Every structure is written in structure tokens, then in C-alpha cells.
A = this chain, B = another copy of it.
Amino acid sequence: MNKELILLGHGSGGKLSHQLLDDLIIPTLSGISLAGQNDAALVDADGRRLAFTTDSYVVDPVFFPGGNIGTLAVNGTVNDLAMMGARPLFLSAGLIIEEGFSRNDLGTILASMRQAADAAGVRIVTGDTKVVPRGKADRIFINTSGIGLVEHDFTISGACARPGDRIIINGTVGDHGIAVMAKREGLELLTDIVSDCAPLNGLVADIIAEGGGDVHVLRDPTRGGVATTLKEIALQSDVTIMIREEAIPLAGPVKGVCAILGLDPLYVANEGKLLVAVAPSAAERVLARMKTHPCGGAAAIIGEVTDAGGGKLRLETSVGGVRAVEMLAGEQLPRIC
């Protein structure tokens, strides 16, 4: 591996991404500590607690079952704000378009962005459009940044998981990644898998209303999947997390495509899922509340924080063994978001 060049795996959201972030990008740009690395930054603007986040979307193909790059760009950034317990308010939209892109397709994507913004209750208030010559980009890339308002005074962060916390997920894993991959590989006619792409701010509001300060961590398992996200939380909180394979909701068709393509669904991207670490006393209440929300019908407790220290993620497999789970190595599914 040539250490002097940027590799696809540096964009995977997994181990290589973390190395690039930790060794170069974060120390150079900001010096934010591991404990402070969350889905969005918390900043103070003249006494108001704001969440601020950014994501660029480069998904291939641009249109996929269950959404398109525009839906993804709005929901992804809304969700990053929601994961801080913030109420998403305002989004920006930065378009980089390849010369020759269809104006009709652009119109469809923009309409999807507006629809997604309306559904999430946010406003797209500022934007920018660049066009680059043919062959200098791949159809369209969209950056969205977002501002949210934090209206509570407790701390929700990847650094706040504590021994005893239950780990809850709001539904089946891997749907987004497999929907995109199936479309890319021409397998979409064999399945009816659609992306789970959805705004999670409503569900988060319910979780916080029910659990309050007992909600310790909220994070959406996008690139790198559930495994990478939980490993991040274990490292950031310096705890050990155990999850049970049998407890993790997984749709049959996703399982099937994963088997065909040789993918582990725990590493496949989600765009409408969140992981919650919540104090044991509040876990059942929060779970019950989540199940009443349209985005939480299949919510389940999938594990718990077993120990302080370690920074480890363990998986109890369906045959009863226990193994360590690491972050995604290399790049499993490039350009999934």
C-alpha cells in the first residue's frame, strides 16, 4: 500500500478513514479531541447552543430504490444534527455538476431535496452551484451543511456510553447499502429492497422526550455500518460493548443479497437508522416509545455496555460463540452515500 496516495478506503468510514482523520485531517484543521468527535459540532453562538455539521454526497448511482442523491443529502445532514439531540433548522446545498448532466434529472433531485426538507421541517436557505467539464466529476455531487438548535442541557455524545447502558437500534440493518449496491450491480429486479433513507429528527425528539438525560449516545450507522459505529462509540467512551447477532433486525432479502455479494450486513451503510445507548432503567420505556414511531416499528435492544475500559466491541454469534468486531477495513462498498 502506497502511504503517499489517498486510497478509496480513506473514504470508507472505516479504519483507513479514521487513520487519515486522526493522523492528518483533524489535527491540522482543528485539533478536536476524540471525545469531541461526533456527527456534528456543538458550538456556542452568543449564548445559543448550536449543532453544525457537513456532509458531501457522491452516491453512485444517483437514483436508487427508495431515493436519490438529493433525498440522501437532506436526510443525512438532518440526521447528523438530530444525533446531537438538536432540532434541525437550516440547511445549505452546494452542487457540483458535471457538464452535460440532464437538467431534468437535476430538477428531479432538487424537488426531492425540497420534499425531504419539508418532511423534516427544515429550510434550505443558502446554496452554491459549480459546473466542471465533462470527465472532471461523476454526474453530480451534493454537499449539505446544517444548523440545529440544542434545546436541552444534557450531553449526548459518543463519549457518554456507560457500563450497563442498553444499545437499541430502530430497525433492520443494511437496507440502504444493499439497495444502492443491488441497483449498481443490476440485481434490483431480483429484490424489492429499498433504501431506508429517512429523517430521524422526529424519532429523536420522541427518544429524548421519553429518556431525557438517560439517553447517553445517539449515532446513525451510515458508512462503515453498525459494527464500525459501535466500535467508534466503544473507543470514544472507553468501554466494552457486547451485541447479540440474533437480536439484530435484518430483512431476509438483505441477508440474501449480502450472501450473494459476500458482504457482512453489520458493515453495510444505513441512512434511516440510529443507535441509542441508554441507561438500563430507561431502556424499556425508550424502546416502547420508539416502537410507536413510523421509523421505529422494528426497534430492538441489540446489546449492552458490559464493562468500563477496553474500547472493544464483541459479538455473540448465533451459534453461541463470542468474537471481537473491528472497524471496517479497506473499502467494502465505495460511494454508498
Q: Which residues of A contact B (CB under 8 A)?
A: 3-11, 17, 20-21, 24-26, 28-30, 32, 40-41, 43, 45-48, 50, 52-58, 60, 89-90, 92-104, 106-107, 110-111, 113-114, 117, 123-133, 135-138, 141, 143, 145, 147, 149, 334-335
Contacts and interface: CB of A to CB of B under 8 A. Distances in A.
A94 B96 CA distance: 12
| Copies of this chain present | 2
A60 B137 CA distance: 13
A52 B92 contact: yes
Contact of A17 (B126, B129, B138): B129
Contacts of A47: 48
A111 B28 contact: yes
12 contacts: A6-B101, A7-B99, A10-B97, A25-B127, A29-B117, A30-B114, A54-B145, A56-B96, A94-B145, A131-B334, A135-B135, A137-B141
A4 B102 contact: yes
Q: Which 8 A-B pairs have the closest CB atoms?
A: A11-B131, A145-B145, A54-B92, A41-B125, A143-B143, A136-B138, A41-B126, A28-B110
A147 B103 contact: no
A180 to B, nearest CB: 14
B131 A50 contact: no
Given A56-B143, A90-B41, A125-B41, A8 B131 contact: yes
Nearest to A38: B126
Given A54-B128, A136-B137, A24 B145 contact: no
B89 A43 contact: yes
Nearest to A117: B29
B127 A138 contact: no
Contact of A56 (B106, B128, B149): B128
B132 A58 contact: yes
A30 B145 contact: no
B133 A334 contact: yes
A56 B334 contact: no
Contact of A102 (B5, B9, B132): B5
A333 B149 CA distance: 40
B48 A114 contact: no
A40 B126 contact: yes
A96 B131 contact: no
Contacts of A30: 114, 123-125, 127
B103 A3 contact: yes
Contacts of A97: 6, 10-11
A105 to B, nearest CB: 9
Nearest to A132: B58
Contact of A147 (B4, B28, B147): B147
A20 B125 contact: no
A14 to B, nearest CB: 12
Most chain B CB atoms below 10 A, which of A6, A41, A126? A126
Residue in A123, A125, A128 with the greatest tally of chain B CB atoms within 10 Å: A128
Max chain B C-beta neighbours (<10 A), residue from A30, A53, A111, A135:
A30
